[in-house]
Amino acid sequence: MRRFLTAALAALFFGVPAAAQAEEASSLTTLMTAYEARGWEGVGRLNIGRSGMCTGALVAPDLVLTAAHCIYDRSGDLVAPNEIQFLAGWRNGRASAYRGVRRAIAHPSYEYTGPESDLRVANDIALLKLDSPIRLANVQPFATADRPRKGSSVGVVSYAHDRADTPSLQEVCHVLARQSGSLILSCDVDFGSSGAPIFTEVAGEPRIVSVVSAKAMIRGRPVSIGTNLERPLAELMEMMNTPGTASAVAVTTARRVVPGRIGSGLTGGGGGLNSGGGAKFLKP
C-alpha cells in the first residue's frame, strides 16, 4: 500500500498543469495584532493532554472541527474530553474565549494506526462538543463548502510548534491533486498544524473545505495532505446529535486500533512520499 500510495500521489502531482505547479504560494503571515487577526478568531489552538497541541476551528458555536488523530494518545486510545481545551483566537498569551470539551468524536472510518492509505487520511476528522457555546460577536463559526478542484487557490490558518502562541495565515496555496477524497496541497504546515482549517472564498467569505491531516514530500517537494470533508462531516454531525450512537462508535474505534506513535501520517518509500507525520506534536 505504501508503494502504491507513493506512486499514485506522484502521478497525480505530475499530472497538474505546469502553470499550476509553477504558481507560487504566498508566504505565512503571522497574525500578531487584533486587526490582523480580525475574522479569524474562530480558529484556535487545541491543548491536548499534558503536552499535545493541534489546531481547530468553530463550525458551530459549540462545535470545533479538527483532525481525528489529534484526539488519540500515544497508546492509541482516545484522549478523555476533559483533557482537551479550545483556545479560540489564541494570540500572544491570550484567547478570545476559553472552553473545555464535553465530548470528542472521531470519524468511525478513521483508524489511528494501521496500513497507510488514502482512505485513512480522507476520514481523519473529528468533532469536539464544547462545554458551553461561544457567543461573541468577534468569534464566529465558519461555514463549509464543497471540495475544491485541482488547481484551485485555497488558504490555511494554523498554529505550529514553532509558532504556538500566534496563528499564521497562508492566504494563497493550491490544490495540486485530489485522490479518493484527499487533497494534496502546496500549503505550508508543520507539527501542531493538524486539524487546521483549509479555506476557500465564497462570495467574499472564507469557508472550510478540508482540514490538515499530514505533511509529506513528493519528489523532493514539500506538500500538505488535507482530508475529505463533505460526507464525513455530515456523518459526524449526525452522530453528535445521537449521543448513544456517537459514544458507542468512539469506544469501538478506540479499542480496535493498534498502539503506535503520535501523528504517523503518511509514509512511503522509494524516494517518493516520505513521512512528515500528522502534525500533532509533543512539547519538548
pLDDT of 227-249, one tens digit each? 989 899 999 999 998 866 544 34
Number of Cβ within a 10 Å radius of residue 204? 5
Which tens digit of pLDDT belongs to each residue from 104-158? Answer: 999 998 887 755 555 678 899 999 999 999 999 999 999 999 989 999 999 999 9
On the question of pLDDT at 6 being above 50, the answer is no
Q: Can you say whether the dihedral through the CA atoms of 139, 143, 149, 152 is positive or negative?
A: negative
pLDDT of residue 112: 79
Quote the cell numbers at residue 21.
505547479
Decide the pairing of beta strands 153-158 and 126-130: unpaired
Torsion angle, CA of 155/156/162/167, rounded to 10 degrees? Answer: 110
Average pLDDT, the chain: 79
Where along the chain do its domains lie? 2-282
181: Cα separation from own chain's centroid: 14
Residue 270: left (phi > 0), alpha (psi -120 to 50), or beta?
left
Residues 6+ apart with CB under 8 A from 89: 37, 40, 41, 42, 43, 44, 95, 96, 97, 138, 139, 167
**CATH number assigned to the domain covering 2-282:** 2.40.10.10
Give CA separation, 34 vs 38, 94, 167, in Å.
6, 11, 11
Q: Tell me, what's the pLDDT at 90? A: 96
Q: What is the pLDDT of residue 10?
A: 45
Segment 75-90 mean pLDDT: 94
